[in-house]
Amino acid sequence: MSRHQKFFWILSGEQGLQTLVFLLQMRRMLLEI
């Protein structure tokens, strides 16, 4: 399984979706600094 497929496989779960939102919020906070 390629890294790309693994990434989407993780995101397919609700836990992965919450993680993605969390990472996006973190990135936004870091960019605002």
DSSP secondary structure letters along the chain: --HHHHHHHHHTSHHHHHHHHHHHHHHHHHHH-
Give residue 25's pLDDT: 95
pLDDT at 31: 92
- Position 5 scores a pLDDT of 83
What's the rounded Cα separation, in Å, for the pair 19 and 1? 21
Is the pTM higher than 0.85?
no
The radius of gyration computed from the CA coordinates of the chain, to the nearest angstrom, equals: 12
Say how many CA atoms lie within 13 Å of 17 toward its Cβ: 3
pLDDT tens profile 1-33: 688 888 777 767 788 788 889 999 999 999 987
- Give me the pLDDT at residue 1, please: 64
